[in-house]
Amino acid sequence: DTGVSQDPRHKITKRGQNVTFRCDPISEHNRLYWYRQTLGQGPEFLTYFQNEAQLEKSRLLSDRFSAERPKGSFSTLEIQRTEQGDSAMYLCASSLMGQKNEQFFGPGTRLTVL
């Protein structure tokens, strides 16, 4: 049983560096989401893909953030010129279209910007 996987699980970087995270969704899921979770808060929506099309970006996603899902399978989230405020857990989720549209989450990538 392969769930959603994310890589890396932890990333420590210096301010100003670029980082890239990868998400592999459940294989038959056509929807993929990125969320960000800061300490003491629930996850906040960042962006959403249906197959390879990015259909919405939250205003939380500044110009330094970019996400891709080139073949409708895995996705990458890149943060350029990282800032200390980017430190958070980045969660990926996937789902099938359907009544529930329940989203299954990966283990997350914890980013620390020094």
Partner 1 sequence: AQKITQTQPGMFVQEKEAVTLDCTYDTSDPSYGLFWYKQPSSGEMIFLIYQGSYDQQNATEGRYSLNFQKARKSANLVISASQLGDSAMYFCAMREGRSGGSNYKLTFGKGTLLTVNP
| Residues that bind partner 1 in the complex, under the rule CB under 8 A | 31, 33, 35, 40-45, 48, 55-56, 89, 91, 93, 95, 97-108, 110
Minimum distance between the CB of residue 27 and partner 1, rounded to whole angstroms?
18
Instruction: Return the number of the residue (63 or 97) whose C-beta is nearest partner 1.
Output: 97
Instruction: Return the number of the residue (84 or 99) whose C-beta is nearest partner 1.
Output: 99
Rounded to the nearest angstrom, the gap between the alpha carbon of residue 33 and the centroid of all alpha carbons in its chain is 6
Contact 59, 47 (CB under 8 A): no
Minimum distance between the CB of residue 79 and partner 1, rounded to whole angstroms?
19
DSSP 14: -
Instruction: Return the number of the residue (80 or 104) whose C-beta is nearest partner 1.
Output: 104
Residue showing tokens 């890396």: 8
CA distance 112 to 35: 16
Instruction: Return the number of the residue (14 or 100) whose C-beta is nearest partner 1.
Output: 100
Q: How many CA atoms lie within 13 A of 23 on its CB side?
A: 31
Minimum distance between the CB of residue 68 and partner 1, rounded to whole angstroms?
18
Peptide bond into 43 cis (omega under 30): no
